[in-house]
Every structure is written in structure tokens, then in C-alpha cells.
Chains A and B, each alone.
Chain A
């Protein structure tokens, strides 16, 4: 796909392999309400990631013994379509997908007021149509918007973004190539109003100083994503009313 010897992740002018500067996000587009049958749904394009999320619930739990007497069960399934990756992915869930499903669920759960729906379940289905590095963050962003679209009681949205290290520079929103060939990758999910971190993973080496720079940069990215999430919800629910009418 690319020649490793000629590969420059970050050139002398601070430009990355895809032309971005170190603090630039990839283009992000979120559409709310894309799956007709679902209670809530969202579609996100995050760089070349293309992800559809559908939320069903709160609804009755099957199997029944999973139900909790004091709160709702949250289930999350992250799955990649076989054609979403460079080489075809076997449709059966991989260990990687099982882990991502788990950390996504755990990153979303603190945003939801699950005690409002005892004995019920909320299902979040995340389908990756095309993967491009950072699909878990993109998936969390779409999932949180889909949960809001489903009308689930929430404390905050969850916004997610990764930062990483290329040589001695900390960069925002690591793409597929930088994830594979860069030096460190840190996906973070964040509650922008409550100022709390709900997902934190690191893959690679970081000094203590780099670690805190990286975390802060990722959180800055989350805040940028938060604005896009709000816009997407506004667009669905208020559409053209966005322009405030001026008093004459």
C-alpha cells in the first residue's frame, strides 16, 4: 500500500501524511435518524470511517435473568462489515471487536441515567461500514448522539477523539496510517460538561510529560467533536429554525 522507507508521517513543515497540521481533526459529518426502525440512530463519517449506529430500547430484557432490579442494562455491539477493511474481515466477531464493544459500553454508561429504567435493556448496535483508524472514537460519538435521538435520559453527551505521538510531536486525531506506523495512540472519551474521562487507552510509549500533553490534546479534540454532535442533533430536531428570528 505504501513504501515504508519513503513514508513521512510528519514533514519539516509540520504537515502530516494526509496534509493536516498537528492540531487538525479529520473532516467529521454526523447525520441523526438514519435507521428507520430504530428508536434512535446516527451515521458518522469521521475521516474515512463510515459508521452506522442504531439504538433499541429501553425494552424488555431477553434473557430475563439479565434484568437488574434497580437500573437498566446497557448492551453494546461493535461490529465491522466484512468489506470495511483493506483485507476482507471474517464476519464472526473477533476478540478485538469484543473488547471494543466492552470499552464503548463502559464509556457511554456514565452519561446515561440508567436508574430511570429498571428491569429494561438499551441495545446500542455499532456497525462499521468502512474503517480508517479511530473507529472506536467515531463509534462512541455516533452512539452518544443516537442515544440522545432515542430520548434516553442523559447527564451529558459523550465525545471521543484520539491523540498520539509521531516522533517528538503530539498530534490530534490519529488516522489509520499514523496508528500503525506512529509511536503512540491514545483514544479518549469525555463528558464535556461534567469534565470527566470515560474512555482512556494508550497503545505505545509516552513520557510523563508527553502523556499529559497527549491527554489534554485529546480532550481538546473531544470538545471540538462535541460541537459537531450538538449541531447534528439541532439539525434533526430544529431544522431550519436554527436561525433565530430578529425582532423588527
Chain B
């Protein structure tokens, strides 16, 4: 679980002791403050075959998201809305601990939590993505590939999705003689807000934003909170076995709002 390739259990335990010792003095192993993020880089338009794409590098964590837009039938019960389908795969390239094959529970939690932030904020106005109500709607796929994993996949993936979606160009489809035709023209997607997730782990009493793999390996608990542009909370996921106090959670919601605004401005600069 450490970033070194060939560490033994003994080395990992020594590293953990070192981390706990550093935290007792209020320090993190990489020298960051509890509330600071690693270097965040966002590149857009890296896959020409996608309607939108982004590569996010957060420290050593690297994620690519791609948007594909097609047409299809609406979901049951949502006949008057376009369909949004999200997936995330932690590629076996990402670390020595990933097995190729169907996603495990962590990978499924990852894509569902990222999905929840986008869906619940109604970032994409799905009402505007309907061709024939109840029959044919836009189907928007957002797929994520995690290339290298060094902690906080949740935020890196979520930023990649938001960056890819908000900078994408959707194809314009029309109905001609009961058939769907790709006009060859594009339009900006109907974006209403920019949801930003902020994740932290709790180790002892310390709450550390943007955890690395090493910090996640020592965590007692994890929390992800997603806010939208107006500051309201749209999705939360508490993870792992340790508890949070109510005060910690309330204070964290303020952190998520302030920190979220900081990262949101970075994503808005892309457009």
C-alpha cells in the first residue's frame, strides 16, 4: 500500500510509525498542511475521438475522463430526460495491487460517489437533452480510466469528469423522417453548475485533505463532501470503519465549501 514498489510489511509498518509520529507534531510526511492539496494539473482535449476529455494529475494520481454522446431510449421513469451514464475503472496499470477484471467494491463505490455529485447537482441539464419525449434522448457516457493511483482517487476522478464535461462539445442530433441524424454540428453542453468534491481522511484526531495512498493506508475514516457552485451540499459519503463526531462533520462542511470554491475557480478557467 505504500508508494514504493517493493516494500515489505516491515517497511510499511516503519513508515506508518513515522507518519503517526509526524502527525503527533502536526506534520504530514510530504510536508503539506492538513488542509492543502497536492499539485493539481488539468489538461483538456487529450482524446480527439471523444466529445470532451480531460487528464487530471493530483500529485502522483493520474486519471483520464472521456465523454461520448450518443442517442438511445430514456431510462424508465425518466422519460423526459436525457440519460447520463458514468463509469470508472481502476486500470491494472494503476498500482501493483490492482487485479484486472470486473470492478471491485472500492471501484464501484468510486464511480457511484463521483456519479452522485454530478447527478444530484444536476450539473448537466438533462431536460434539454431530449429528442422525442419518452422515445429518443441523448445518452451521455462519461468513462474514467485511473492510470496511476496514489490516493484520493475520488477527487481526482470527480475533477476529471467535471473538466471533461464542462469543456465538451456535444454533437447536435436531429430527427428527420423518424430517424436520428447527426447534423455534424456541435453545441456546448447544458451546464448549470460545477460540483466539486473534497475528500479527507481521519487519522487519530487529525483530518487530512487530499490523502495519499500512504495516508489512506493508515486512515480510521474517510469523508467526501461535494458542493455545487452556490455552496450547497449535494453529495456526501462517509467511508471506512472509524467514526466522526458531529462537530467534526459540521466543521468539515465549511472546509468543503471553501476548498471547493478554490478548485472550482481552477476548473472554470478551462473554459
Chain A residues packing against B (C-beta within 8 Å): 35-39, 41, 48, 50, 52-54, 56, 59, 62, 77, 79, 81-88, 91-92, 123, 125, 127, 129-131
Contact = CB atoms under 8 A, between A and B. Distances in A.
B95 A37 contact: yes
A48 B46 CA distance: 11
Given A37-B148, A37-B150, A129-B64, 17 more contacts: A35-B94, A36-B62, A37-B3, A48-B48, A48-B49, A50-B47, A54-B91, A54-B92, A81-B145, A83-B49, A83-B65, A83-B67, A84-B49, A84-B66, A87-B68, A88-B68, A127-B91
Interface residues of B, number: 34
Chain A contact residues: helix, strand, loop or mixed: loop
A56 B99 CA distance: 11
Interface in B41-91: 46-50, 53, 60, 62, 64-68, 70, 87, 89, 91
B5 interface: yes
B141 A82 contact: yes
A83 B165 CA distance: 13
A48 B47 CA distance: 9
Interface in B91-148: 91-96, 99-100, 102, 141, 143, 145, 147-148
A38 to B, nearest CB: 6
Nearest to A75: B100
A91 B143 CA distance: 9
Contact of B92 (A36, A48, A123): A123
Contacts of B95: 37
Contacts of B46: 50, 129
Contact of B147 (A52, A82, A87, A131): A52
A130 B48 contact: yes
18 contacts: A35-B94, A35-B147, A36-B62, A37-B3, A37-B94, A37-B96, A53-B93, A56-B92, A56-B96, A79-B100, A81-B66, A81-B143, A82-B66, A82-B68, A88-B70, A125-B93, A129-B47, A129-B64
